[in-house]
Structure formats: structure tokens, C-alpha cells
Chain A
């Protein structure tokens, strides 16, 4: 069964600090991996999309990495801001089965002043 596991489940950091969120998956055959940010009361917003051949992708202070061999991804947030407080969701899509996506359960990040 295809699975996507994220860790930690929740994280509290001080403003200005860096943090790294993890995503491990078993989805196969692999098509792409996406990281979404979901603010409270809002729909998820895409941060990065990576295919098999991409190791890293940045979006401002967000940098995602992908190791397709070990089936691991990370999302690194640099110089955190209060507005980074949100849930971060890892989504992995198959290259068959109509590109079905498996969602992780998310990491809730709280940035405190």
C-alpha cells in the first residue's frame, strides 16, 4: 500500500530559527513529490514540485530536497517568520493509476516570537 509519512507531527520554533520537516514515502511508481502549505482556515497552497530527476528546489526561504533512491524528502525553512506558522503537507503522485496522489498527514509548525 502506498504511504506517505511525515515527521515530526508538530514543531514549535522561535522566530528567526531554521527548521527541517521530513517526508518518507513508499509510493511507486513515482511521478512527483509536492510540498503544500496550509494556513489555518485556508486551502493548501503549493510550495514546490519535484520529479525523479530533481534533487532540490527552492521557493524563497523554502528549500525542498528529494532522494528518490531512499524515497525521502525534506522541506527546509530558513529564517522563520511568524507567517510560516501553518501545516505543511507532503504529497506524492504515481506515474500510473491516473496519477493518483497520496497525502501525508502534515506537520504543524508554530513559529513563536
Chain B
């Protein structure tokens, strides 16, 4: 009965490859997010979707493209992977729209290592 799930948990790949990370939430939430946590443990928001609509898009290279087929899923596709993309990527969801007075529930994270 996992609330927010991500796959895969670990991803090791070569520079230049294209990869995807999947996220699903079974909480019935309207808003989903992708965060990047670097080696210094700093969490940075990348994207936020509300009912499949993009509402927050931080300054992220266009090699990163989120895809929301429905409000329960928000996948992250990364093209032409670079060494600097190595990090832990967290998916999260919350009820309501945006970062309002709503608790965010985080997934377990996907550790991406680019060699």
C-alpha cells in the first residue's frame, strides 16, 4: 500500500544515454513534483504538475522532460545524460494545487549515477 512509489530505485548508466524514472501515487492527490537532491543533500524543485498541467518549471535543462499521462503518474525523462545529472531524484505529491497549505508526501527516491 505504498503511497508514492518510484522506479527504479537505483539507475547506473553511461554519459550520453537517455533514461526515464517513473513515479506513481495512489493517494488521489492532484499535484505531483520532481526534486533533485545533490551530493550535498540540497533539495531543489524541478517541476510541479497539477492535474496533468505544468505549474512550476524551475531553471532545468531542456534535456529533462516531465510527462504526466494522468494525475496519478509523473514520469521524468532525461536525454543525453551528463555526469552532473548524478543525484537522487525524489517524486512527491500533495492534495490541492501547488505548494499551498498541503503536506507533500515523498517517494523513496531514485539514485542516478552517470558514468
Contacts and interface: CB of A to CB of B under 8 A. Distances in A.
Contacts of A101: 45, 99
* Interface SS of A by simple majority: strand
Interface of B: 4, 40-45, 48, 55-56, 90, 92, 97-101, 103-109
Given A46-B104, A98-B98, 20 more contacts: A38-B41, A42-B109, A43-B4, A43-B90, A43-B106, A43-B108, A43-B109, A44-B106, A45-B106, A46-B103, A87-B41, A98-B55, A98-B99, A100-B56, A100-B99, A103-B42, A103-B45, A105-B40, A105-B41, A105-B42
Nearest to B90: A43
Contacts of B97: 98-99
4 cross-chain pairs, A with B, having the tightest CB-CB distances, nearest first:
A43-B106, A99-B98, A99-B99, A98-B98
A49 B56 contact: no
A43 B44 CA distance: 13
B103 to A, nearest CB: 5
B108 A42 contact: yes
A51 interface: yes
Interface residues of A, number: 24
Contacts of B44: 103
Interface string A5-45: 00000000000000000000000000110100010011111
A44 B46 CA distance: 16
Contact of B99 (A31, A41, A42): A31
Contacts of A44: 43, 90, 104, 106
15 contacts: A31-B101, A42-B108, A43-B92, A43-B106, A43-B108, A49-B103, A89-B43, A98-B48, A98-B55, A98-B97, A100-B45, A100-B56, A103-B42, A105-B40, A106-B42
